[in-house]
Chains A and B, each alone.
Chain A
Amino acid sequence: MAIDTMRPCGDYRTSYRADQTIFDTRLTFAFIVGGIILLALAPLVLSNYYLSLMIQIGYLGIAALGLNILVGFSGQISIGHAVFFGFGGFASAFLAEHGVPVPIAIVLAGLWTTAVGLLFGLPATRVKGLYLAIATLAAQFILQDFFVRAAWFTGGSSGAVAAPFTILGFDMSGDTRYFYVVLVFVVVMYLFAANLMRTRDGRALIAVRDHYLSAEMMGVNLAKYRTMAFGISSFYAGIGGALYAHYIGYMSVEGLDILFSIQFLAMIIIGGLGSIMGSLLGTIFMVLLPELTGALAGILQGSAIDRALHLKDGITYMREMLIGATIILFLIFEPDGLAHRWKQIKAYWKLYPFSY
């Protein structure tokens, strides 16, 4: 699943240090820094609509990266990511309501979600593969039920109000300002994940995925790393959910259903399992998909197809069907996801006229 990076012929690494750099070449480093600077300038040019889409990509991308660490790197499947996302949102709203400053509340919410994730990751020490998938499915329903029940924590069916994001008394709400908050979180979280994969812990996770027996013989504690993957994944989900809660200013149980969990899975499958960049690519794809269906329905409005299918009423269903269809098509035709496609495009241009 993991794909080696493209390197020119004859470029060998002679030390472990050189082999484990986050950025392969100076050029990639320059590109990434340049990209972040460009993004930071984005609010000057883009309208609020595009900014809100980018914020959405940001907080969903963080949560999707968490799921990718669990599924793509440690090889366990979770069909309950949405409830951890939701738990983070509720926890942060709850903490902010009890007087914790919002930036600290977000981080604390992430840690709180980690604890819950570790709890629900406990079956991972006993069962694996599809049994674990079914256990996380149960977690989805149990936590969803808990959210409805625990009115002190979630505000019950009416939802919880999340305080606006302020830092040292400076109000950061509103699309333009909140964009920077999300950007900082995205950069930090993605760097953290990229760095994690260079450490012993990260490589142990990959070893557990690839061959757990060999990994155990090499001295990797399976139970520890399996639950740890759940913890890290929940931390990311919690941070993403908290960012979402303070962006919308409101957190409710609605929408935290199994379909949302499946959307997260769709993001990482489309982006590429076991690819950090892929998580972001997949999230971009999934966020733009409904916009695309909306645009498509707009173009077809009034035409014969529209009259026959009642596109306007069916647009939510059309979206769900597209999510399902993209999952199936990607798994059959492009199981390595967009990240793989992106690598191929890069390789094509690198070697351009002489492709061999």
Chain B
Amino acid sequence: MTFQLFIQLCINGLIIGTLYGVVGMCFVLIYKASQVVNFAQGEFLLIGAWTCWWLLTYWQIPFVWGFLISLAFMMLFGLALQMLVLRPLIGEPVISVIMVTIGLSIFFQALMKWMFGTFAQPFPPIFAVSKVDIFGLQVQSAYLMSTGVSVLIMAGFAWFFKYSKIGLAMRATAFNQQVAQSLGISVRQMFALSWGISAAVSAVAGVVVGIVNGVSSALSFFGIKVFPAVILGGLDSVFGAVVGGLIIGLLENIAHYFDSQFLHWGNLYEIVPFYVLIIILMIKPYGLFGTRDIERV
């Protein structure tokens, strides 16, 4: 029985982990392209999920259309945010930039609470079958979809950065802004675009989590949970973000297993990633796959 629980939790961990990985990728995308640490990443999930929920319940739009419209909206939202708020701060100290994203985070979190209330709202049912039986384990079909979507996004990211022209231009910008500019790449456009893509992809993750757990302001906590994941993987490595996300997702659930079975400390699930975060920062601040050029004190 306990072994079965352990396996179940491990699978949960992997599913949540892929989601952390996706959000982590979006976070790293912004950081790589525009050197901004985005504390408002969780709010992208929140706003995307609420938009989709609103379109589906209030306007009764079919899921596919509602989903696509909210993605387009989030793309524009990310672009607008970069152009209006972050662009004037280019060249300012790190503290100012971090503080602006924190300001954005509490602004939109409060706005969403005001507009949609504090209670979790369920999505209208999308799947005909709510649970699927795999090797004797009950897995919610929404979870299956979430993993499928996450893997799809990761493959999409890989393709985008390897083969598409815009993706290559973005990598060039991340590598060296001056060189990129001299080759005719508009660095400003790349900055804005990275925010747009990041917001839209985060919104996908937001909608997926919303379908599973219902939409509530708890979604924005993903934006904080993503820090352990990206620090573990290396702040400037997209691949590292995925690996870090998976590890943190697994770790959380394994901690939960030990907590519920043996230790009974309670709440270990929530707090373990942050202990890991501190330990990594102390012993290996560039993470598993990050560039090793962090200035040491």
Contact = CB atoms under 8 A, between A and B. Distances in A.
Interface stretch (A4-12, A106-114, A134-142, A180-188): A134-142
Classify the secondary structure of B's interface with A: helix
Contact of B104 (A128, A266, A328): A328
B224 interface: yes
Interface string B208-243: 000000000000000010011001000100000000
B286 to A, nearest CB: 9
Contacts of B107: 320-321, 324-325, 328
B111 interface: yes
Contacts, number: 133
Contacts of A130: 37, 94, 98
Contacts of A226: 297
A135 B98 contact: no
A125 B114 contact: no
Nearest to A333: B88
B277 A138 contact: yes
Contact of B99 (A75, A134, A325, A327): A327
Q: How large is the interface on B (under 10, 10 to 19, 20 to 34, 35 or more residues)?
A: 35 or more
Interface in A120-154: 122-131, 133-135, 137-139, 141-142, 145, 148-149
**From DSSP, what is the main secondary structure of chain A's interface residues?**
helix
B297 A317 contact: no
B63 interface: no
A257 B235 CA distance: 26
A335 B274 contact: no
B282 A77 contact: no
Contacts of B274: 137-138, 141-142
A135 B88 CA distance: 27
Interface in B15-37: 37
A318 interface: yes
B114 A321 contact: yes
B95 interface: yes
Contact of B227 (A134, A320, A321, A335): A134
A79 interface: yes
A131 B285 contact: yes
B96 interface: yes
Interface in B97-112: 98-100, 102-111
B297 A222 contact: yes
Contacts of A222: 297
Contacts of A149: 265-267
B295 interface: yes
A22 interface: no
A275 to B, nearest CB: 15
A288 interface: no
A128 B92 contact: no
B238 to A, nearest CB: 18
List 8 tightest A-B contacts by C-beta distance, closest first. A324-B107, A327-B103, A320-B110, A317-B114, A138-B274, A324-B106, A328-B103, A317-B110
Given A145-B271, A262-B102, A320-B107, 12 more contacts: A75-B95, A122-B282, A127-B281, A134-B231, A223-B297, A262-B103, A317-B114, A324-B105, A325-B107, A327-B103, A328-B85, A332-B89
28 contacts: A71-B95, A75-B95, A77-B95, A128-B295, A129-B94, A130-B37, A131-B231, A134-B37, A134-B231, A138-B277, A141-B270, A141-B274, A142-B274, A145-B267, A149-B266, A222-B297, A318-B110, A321-B111, A324-B103, A324-B104, A324-B105, A326-B103, A327-B99, A328-B85, A328-B100, A328-B103, A331-B89, A331-B96
